[in-house]
Chains A and B, each alone.
Chain A
Amino acid sequence: QVQLVQSGTEVKKPGASVKVSCKASGYTFTNYFFHWVRQAPGQGLEWMGRINPNSGGTNYAQKFQGRVTMTRDTSITTAYMELSRLRSDDTAVYYCASGSGPGYWGQGTLVTVSS
């Protein structure tokens, strides 16, 4: 069955970087974009950007331009999202999503930014 399995909880200090991974299985990794979406506490869903796993081409939301980097490693069917210069308002659950829709979602990774 299709699975997107994300890396575990992270606690970071302001100004640091975090890199979240998303391991895909059960479907052809290169068939669909990988999207990254976050949800801050008490807030709605926010799209951060996407990566084409075939070409590596990316599209980022303007809000995250310059701070986010999305990459992938096709040999291990894993996508990554790195967010730098973290602030307290980056505290959120980060999700990867892929498939048609996208309809496949990872379980989420909690990133807490606190001094």
Chain B
Amino acid sequence: DIQMTQSPSSLSASVGDRVTITCRASQGISNSLNWYQKKPEKAPTLLISDASRLETGVPPRFSGSGSGTDFTFTISSLQPEDVATYYCQQYDALPVTFGPGTKVDFK
């Protein structure tokens, strides 16, 4: 199975801060990577697919980059509604696997 790691596991930031999360795959996955936002009591929301493609309706402050084994997810200017846990997910090979998540909250 492809193992996904994320760092940091949690972070605290202020409104307007730039936030960056990294995700690493245990083997190359090309650009077969999604980023999801998960809020308590809500279903996950797909923000980024194919490592860097912003989903329709997702604010442009969210972005993703990378390919192969190393990926980055960025919120350019953190907003109050962005408090959530963010997960990367690879779909290059079965089983589909998720990273452990990065919890983002406010200082």
> What residues make up the interface of A, taking CB atoms closer than 8 Å to B?
35, 37, 39, 44-47, 49-50, 59, 61-62, 95, 97, 100-103, 105-108
Contact = CB atoms under 8 A, between A and B. Distances in A.
B46 A107 contact: no
**Interface size band for B:** 20 to 34
Contacts of A37: 44
Given A44-B87, A103-B55, 18 more contacts: A35-B96, A39-B38, A44-B98, A45-B36, A45-B38, A45-B98, A45-B101, A46-B98, A47-B95, A47-B96, A47-B97, A59-B94, A59-B95, A61-B95, A100-B49, A101-B55, A103-B49, A108-B43
A47 B87 CA distance: 12
B99 to A, nearest CB: 8
Contacts of B55: 101, 103
Nearest to B95: A61
Contact of A101 (B34, B97, B98): B34
Interface in B13-66: 34, 36, 38, 43-46, 49, 55
Contacts of A44: 87, 98-101
Nearest to B1: A62
A84 to B, nearest CB: 19
B43 A95 contact: yes
A71 to B, nearest CB: 19
Given A44-B87, A44-B101, A45-B87, A107 B95 contact: no
Contacts of B44: 37, 45, 95, 97, 105
A100 B87 CA distance: 17
Given A45-B36, A62-B95, A107 B43 contact: yes
Contacts of B36: 45
A44 B46 CA distance: 15
A86 to B, nearest CB: 21
A39 B96 CA distance: 15
